[in-house]
């Protein structure tokens, strides 16, 4: 196959030798007509792979068209790719590009393919391990969510775009249900996971802390009792972090986000995890599911690897499965409403990526994944919110626990027992999911192929909507990274 040679960057010349379409190799760039090319190959994605690859690497094309072609090519190159960025750029090209005949035709054809692909709803009833029904009484909540999903199509930050039903307090689908049904008429949370909080643990902590009024007295009481129980030793480690926190409060320096997270939360979370041999990885930890989604289908020898989104902390099983994603904002009350909403949106999408990867890993390990759940911990202001994400025909995001974070000596005896009980219950639940994974029924080779095929019907998590207020550098015109 012949190659088109370009002036300038030789790496483009090498890259374009890989997979060119004859339509472009047999014509000069001036003779290229996207409308003619589309007419020759209507609704044939495999034909676009080579054509789009050529367009995206040709320096003579408008920047917007090159970016559009690049992302479309990456989609068609991978059956797991997302079509959302194609829709966004198709709309922009159709309205803003001067060369309307070629660009509008190209954009319209790919938009048609987008809608054709999205109309194909996955059928999960073939999988006994994957619930496909979600009802409350006679109400089909999956169907109700699909109706809600269509109504949110124009909202770029709606989690419903990624098939996530947001059932958190104040979540978009929660508000939708509350508007449609009377209180008590519908229980959308009936089959949701529930967290078992250890009330005895809370009483034990209260007995140690309540007789004392200062932090110094509390930590001395915990340390003096350390020889009697592992729990007292754990409480002593948590209070030691608070000792640093209170010293820092007396200085003129403003504590940063990482310092507060380390002093107030790390010991509280890591103690119960250590008992279950679970790993807590801290500070700018790559989310594996996000990395997989961004780079699947890319040629590692010729395509640039897109970095994963980073989480503030991640809990992993001994086999490397990520089961808890942590996002933290200012734990001193300075977290803005926008930051809080942004972190929740990030957690939800990271959990969906993680859920899909964990299911894929289970199938790869010839294990039958059932009751797959991943967890998210959001810390902001003086609050800790624990979420779960599961699947019942759609992904559901919902609260399973909340606690206040004590940031004053007077609140330690009141709030600390609940916070540590939440962290302990979260660790127990993560351990339970690890055990379920280890004991999962084995798949036959036939089942493995079937499950892999059906798993491919899940659309990839969408890319982050472009920020109109953010100025991009020239080199970022065709950037493909997202949050």
pLDDT(90) > 90: no
Q: How far apart are CA 253 and CA 290, in angstroms?
A: 36
Confidence at residue 202, expressed as pLDDT on a 0 to 100 scale: 83
Confidence at residue 411, expressed as pLDDT on a 0 to 100 scale: 84
**Token code pair at residue 257:** 């986000």
Confidence at residue 57, expressed as pLDDT on a 0 to 100 scale: 63
Query: What integer is the mean pLDDT of 321-329?
Result: 89
pLDDT(474) > 50: no
Report which of residues 258 and 420 the model is more confident about.
420
- What DSSP string describes 369-413? --S--EEEEEEETTEEEEEEEEESSSEEEEEEEEEEPP-SGGGHH
- Least confident among 234-243, 296-305, 413-422: 296-305
pLDDT(84) > 60: no
Per residue in 187-210, pLDDT tens? Answer: 888 888 888 888 888 888 888 888
pLDDT(70) > 50: yes
Report which of residues 84 and 161 the model is more confident about.
161
Query: What integer is the mean pLDDT of 448-454?
Result: 77
**Token code pair at residue 212:** 């004392």
Q: How far apart are the first and last CA of the chain?
A: 38
Per residue in 176-193, pLDDT tens? Answer: 999 888 888 888 888 888
Helix (H, G, I), strand (E, B) or coil at 361: helix
Q: How far apart are CA 450 and CA 337, in angstroms?
A: 44
Query: What integer is the mean pLDDT of 108-116?
Result: 47
pLDDT(394) > 60: yes
Q: For residue 221, what are the contacts with CB-CB under 8 A and spacing of at least 6? A: 208, 209, 211, 212
- Least confident among 63-77, 150-164, 443-457: 63-77
Confidence at residue 390, expressed as pLDDT on a 0 to 100 scale: 92
- Least confident among 144-148, 254-258, 348-352, 377-381: 254-258
Q: How far apart are CA 307 and CA 403, in angstroms?
A: 33
Nearest to 62 by CA among 89, 23, 26, 24: 89
Q: How far apart are CA 440 and CA 357, in angstroms?
A: 16
Report which of residues 354 and 19 the model is more confident about.
354
Report which of residues 315 and 48 the model is more confident about.
315
Band of residue 258 on the pLDDT scale cut at 50, 70, 90: confident
Please give the distance of CA 416 from its chain centroid, rounded to a whole number: 29
Report which of residues 293 and 89 the model is more confident about.
293
The per-residue pLDDT of the chain, averaged, comes to 73
- What DSSP string describes 415-459? HHHHHHHHHHHHHHHHHHHHHHHHTPPBPPHHHHHHHHHHHTTSP
Query: What integer is the mean pLDDT of 354-365?
Result: 88
Confidence at residue 44, expressed as pLDDT on a 0 to 100 scale: 55
Q: How far apart are CA 37 and CA 284, in angstroms?
A: 45
Residue 284: HSE in the Cβ half-sphere, 13 Å Cα cutoff: 2
Query: What integer is the mean pLDDT of 4-32?
Result: 49
- Least confident among 153-167, 301-315, 316-330, 417-431: 301-315
pLDDT(102) > 70: no
Confidence at residue 36, expressed as pLDDT on a 0 to 100 scale: 63
pLDDT(37) > 90: no
pLDDT(327) > 60: yes
Query: What integer is the mean pLDDT of 269-273?
Result: 89
Band of residue 399 on the pLDDT scale cut at 50, 70, 90: very high
Q: How far apart are CA 316 and CA 354, in angstroms?
A: 11
Count of beta carbons in the 10 Å neighbourhood of residue 274: 13
Band of residue 105 on the pLDDT scale cut at 50, 70, 90: low
User: Dihedral through CA 335, CA 337, CA 339, CA 343, nearest 10?
Assistant: 110
Angle between helical axes of 230-249 and 267-275 (0-180°, round to 10): 160
pLDDT(473) > 80: no
Nearest to 390 by CA among 429, 338, 363: 429
Band of residue 246 on the pLDDT scale cut at 50, 70, 90: confident
Confidence at residue 65, expressed as pLDDT on a 0 to 100 scale: 60
Band of residue 325 on the pLDDT scale cut at 50, 70, 90: very high
Please report, rounded to a whole number, the percentage of residues in the chain having pLDDT higher than 70.
Answer: 63
């Amino acid at each position: 196959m012949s190659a088109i040679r370009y002036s300038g960057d030789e790496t483009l010349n090498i890259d374009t030798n890989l997979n060119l379409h004859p339509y472009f190799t047999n014509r000069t760039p001036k003779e290229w007509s996207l409308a003619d090319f589309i007419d020759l190959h209507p609704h044939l994605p495999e034909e676009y792979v080579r054509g789009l690859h050529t367009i995206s690497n040709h320096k003579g094309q408008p920047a917007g068209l090159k970016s559009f072609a690049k992302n479309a090519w990456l989609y068609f190159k991978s059956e797991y790719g997302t079509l959302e960025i194609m829709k966004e750029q198709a709309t922009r090209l159709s309205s803003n590009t001067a060369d309307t005949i070629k660009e509008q035709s190209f954009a319209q054809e790919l938009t048609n393919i987008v809608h054709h692909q999205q109309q194909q709803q996955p059928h999960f009833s073939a999988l006994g391990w994957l619930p496909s029904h979600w009802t409350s009484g006679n109400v089909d909540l999956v169907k109700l969510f699909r109706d809600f999903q269509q109504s949110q199509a124009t909202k770029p930050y709606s989690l419903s775009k990624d098939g996530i039903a947001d059932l958190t307090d104040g979540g978009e689908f929660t508000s939708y249900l509350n508007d449609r049904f009377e209180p008590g008429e519908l229980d959308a949370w009936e089959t949701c996971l529930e967290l078992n909080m250890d009330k005895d643990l809370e009483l034990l902590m209260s007995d140690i802390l309540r007789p004392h009024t200062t932090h110094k007295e509390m930590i001395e009481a915990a340390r003096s009792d350390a020889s009697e129980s592992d729990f007292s030793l754990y409480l002593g480690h948590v209070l030691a972090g608070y000792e640093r926190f209170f010293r820092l409060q007396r200085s003129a320096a403003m504590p940063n986000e990482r310092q507060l997270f380390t002093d107030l939360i790390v010991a509280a979370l890591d103690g119960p995890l250590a008992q279950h041999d679970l790993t807590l990885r801290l500070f700018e930890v790559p989310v594996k599911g996000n990395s997989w989604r961004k780079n699947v289908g890319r040629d590692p020898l010729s395509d640039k690897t897109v970095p994963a989104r980073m989480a503030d902390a991640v809990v992993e099983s001994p086999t490397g499965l990520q089961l808890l994603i942590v996002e933290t904002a200012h734990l001193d009350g300075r977290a803005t409403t926008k930051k809080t909403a942004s972190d929740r949106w990030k957690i939800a999408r990271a959990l969906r990526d993680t859920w899909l990867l964990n299911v894929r890993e289970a199938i790869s390990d010839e294990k039958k994944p059932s009751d797959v759940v991943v967890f998210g911990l959001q810390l902001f202001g003086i609050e800790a919110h624990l979420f779960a994400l599961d699947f019942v025909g759609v992904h559901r995001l919902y609260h399973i626990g909340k606690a206040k974070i004590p940031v004053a000596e007077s609140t330690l005896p009141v709030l600390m027992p609940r916070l540590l009980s939440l962290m302990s219950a979260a660790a127990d639940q993560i351990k339970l999911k690890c055990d379920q994974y280890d004991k999962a029924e084995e798949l036959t080779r036939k089942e493995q192929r079937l499950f892999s095929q059906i798993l491919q019907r899940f659309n990839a998590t969408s890319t982050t909507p472009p920020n109109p207020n953010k100025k991009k550098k020239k080199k970022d015109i065709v950037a493909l990274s997202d949050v």
